[in-house]
Structure 1
Amino acid sequence: MIEVSRLVKRHGSRAVVDDVNFTALPGRVTGLLGPNGAGKSSTLRILLGLDRATSGTALIDGSPYRSLQRPLWKVGAMLDGPGANKGRTARAHLRWVAQSNAIPTRRVDEVLELTGLGDAAKRRIGGFSLGMGQRLGIAAALLGNPDVLVLDEPTNGLDPDGIRWTRRFLRSLADDGKAVLVSSHLMSEMENTADDFVVIARGRVLAAGTAAEVTGTHNSLEDAFFALTDEHTEYRGTGTGTGTGTGTDEATS
């Protein structure tokens, strides 16, 4: 499981993560939701040992990521897409990732098949569609068959078929007992995918719980999200067609 407790990250006098607390439990998909500048990516980067917290803890099965000897056996992650050399084939990329954590080479073909990329194993990544690239990132996250998955915007830019596949696949991972933490700005999609939700804005958790608990008296999770985050959103539309934003921004941080 993932446990984030009293997490704070400051840049000078500004807190980009401000006393964040939540858990992501095994057998459940947890959606980390928030507008542009909410602190989602900063929280995930601290959780995955890519940045240091000012204070507080972010633990995976009771341990910080940096203390894990072979982290891919414990937690799989995808941040900013697959992060692969476009000149490599899918199989070569995954072999390199597997070797970095002493994962058996046979696992490469297993995850290629799991993510529907078996027929594309010998293709160069530069020729992949966006959806195939997202699947490759998920395949890399699954190499160590970890109990914890952390995925940042896995459906970003995907067509409806790709979104549906990702939704079903994340559900299957949770049904296998894995703790799945997903950062997303797609409210309606996450309402169909996640079991638990953490709504964050300007570094602070505004609500956490099941869909029913977060939605409360609102008609939908989306309505609750906007009600919770409206005053924390950096860009708001004017409703006249002349504004600079729409009230939400697809980029997250």
Structure 2
Amino acid sequence: MIEVSHLVKRHGSRAVVDDVSFTATTGRVTGFLGPNGAGKSSTLRILLGLDRAASGTALIGGKPYRSLNRPLLQVGAMLDGPGANKGRTARAHLRWVAQSNAIPSVRVDEVLALTGLQDAARKRIGGFSLGMGQRLGIATALLGDPDILVLDEPTNGLDPDGIRWMRRFLRSLAYAGKAVLVSSHLMSEMEDTADDFVVIAQGRVVASGTRAEVKCVHASLEDAFFALTDEHTEYRAATDYPDSSDGEGQR
């Protein structure tokens, strides 16, 4: 389980993460949703030991990430894509990561097959499409067969076929009993993927719960999201449009 409790992170006098609390449990996909600048990435970086909080805790299996022994066996993560040297092949990258945590090399071929990259194993990563890069990031996260996965925008930039593949794959991980935490800004996609949701805006959790609980009276998760975060978004929807009858804009 992932447990985030009363987490606070400040940049100067501004709280970018402000008393954030939530859990992500085994056998379920948890969508971590919010507009740009909401504090999603900062929260995930603290959870994965890449940044420090001013106060509060972020625990993986009851422990801070920095205290985990061979962390890839307990949590797999993808932040900012695969994070791989573009001059390496997919297999070389995975072997290097596996060796860092004493993971048997046989696991490399297993995760290549799981993510559909076996035919690209000897291809240099610099020649990968965006979708292949995202799959490589997932393969890297799965190397240690961890019970917990933390993925930041895994569908970012994917075409419809890639998004459908990612949705099904994330669901399969949850069915296998893993806890999957997915940060995203694609509301409609998360509505088809996640079981539980945490919505954050300006560093604070504004809603959390199951799909039904977060949607509440709204027709869709997207409608609920905008109702919850509208005052915090970078782009506000226009409410008044020029009257086309006045001839403006007509040729």
Please give the TM-score of this superposition, normalised by the length of structure 2. Answer: 0.95
Q: Does 1:202 align with 2:183?
A: no
Please name the residue that 2:16 is paired with: 16
How far, CA to CA, are the matches of 2:154 and 2:241 in structure 1?
30
Q: Corresponding residue for 1:6?
A: 6
Structure 2 counterparts to residues 46-195 of structure 1, below 5 A: 46-195=46-195
Residue-by-residue CA offset, 1:68-127 (whole Å, 9 max, x unaligned): 011000000000000111110000000000011111111000000000000110000011
For residue 235 of structure 1, report the CA deviation from its aligned partner: 2.7
Letter in 2 for 1:63: K
Residue 9 of structure 1 aligns to a residue whose secondary structure is strand
What is residue 233 of structure 2 aligned with on the other side? 233
Would the alpha carbon gap of residues 91 and 198 (structure 1) be closer, same or farther in structure 2, given more than 3 Å must change? Answer: same
What TM-score, normalized to structure 1?
A: 0.94
Gaps of 5+ in 2: 243-251
Per-residue deviation, 1:239: 6.1
Mapping of residues 209-220 of structure 1, within 5 Å: 209-220=209-220
Counterpart Cα distance in 2 of 1:239 and 1:209: 30
Residue 106 of structure 2 aligns with an amino acid whose one-letter code is R
Query: What secondary structure does 1:108 align onto?
Result: helix
Identity %: 84
Q: Distance in 2 between matches of 1:202 and 1:104?
A: 43
Residues 111-146 of structure 1 show CA distances to partners (whole Å, capped at 9, x for unaligned) of: 000000001100000111000000000000000000
Which residue matches 2:248? none
Q: CA deviation at 1:11?
A: 1.0
Deviation at 1:241?
8.9
Residue type of the alignment partner of 1:6 = H
By how many angstroms is 1:173 displaced? 0.3
- Residue deviations 1:172-224, cap 9 Å, x none? 00000000000000001000000000000000000000010000011111000
Aligned residues: 242
**1:31 aligned residue:** 31
Equivalent AA in structure 2 for residue 4 of structure 1: V
Task: State the one-letter code of the partner of 2:43.
Answer: T
3-state DSSP of counterpart to 1:208: strand
The whole-number CA distance in structure 1 between the counterparts of 2:241 and 2:22 is 38
Name the SS of the counterpart of 1:18 in structure 2.
strand
Query: 2:66, 2:43 → 1: CA distance?
Result: 15
C-alpha separation in 2, matches of 1:241 and 1:76: 47
Distance in 1 (CA, whole Å) between partners of 2:205 and 2:177 is 26
1:238 is displaced (CA, Å) by 3.4
Q: Distance in 2 between matches of 1:241 and 1:233?
A: 20
Task: Please give the secondary structure, in 2, of the residue aligned with 1:88.
Answer: coil
CA-CA distance at 1:240 after TM superposition:
7.4
Q: Distance in 1 between matches of 2:31 and 2:241?
A: 31
The CA distance in 1 between the partners of 2:17 and 2:118, in whole Å, is: 40
The RMSD of aligned alpha carbons is: 1.2
Tell me which residue corresponds to 1:43.
Answer: 43
Partner AA of 1:201 in structure 2: A
Q: Provide the C-alpha distance between the structure 2 equivalents of 1:104 and 1:203, rounded to a whole number of angstroms.
A: 40
Q: Quick one: distance in 2 between partners of 1:190 and 1:239?
A: 27
Which ranges of structure 1 fall in alignment gaps of 5 or more residues?
Answer: 243-253
Aligned equivalents of 1:143 and 1:187: distance in 2? Answer: 29
The one-letter amino acid paired with 2:179 is A
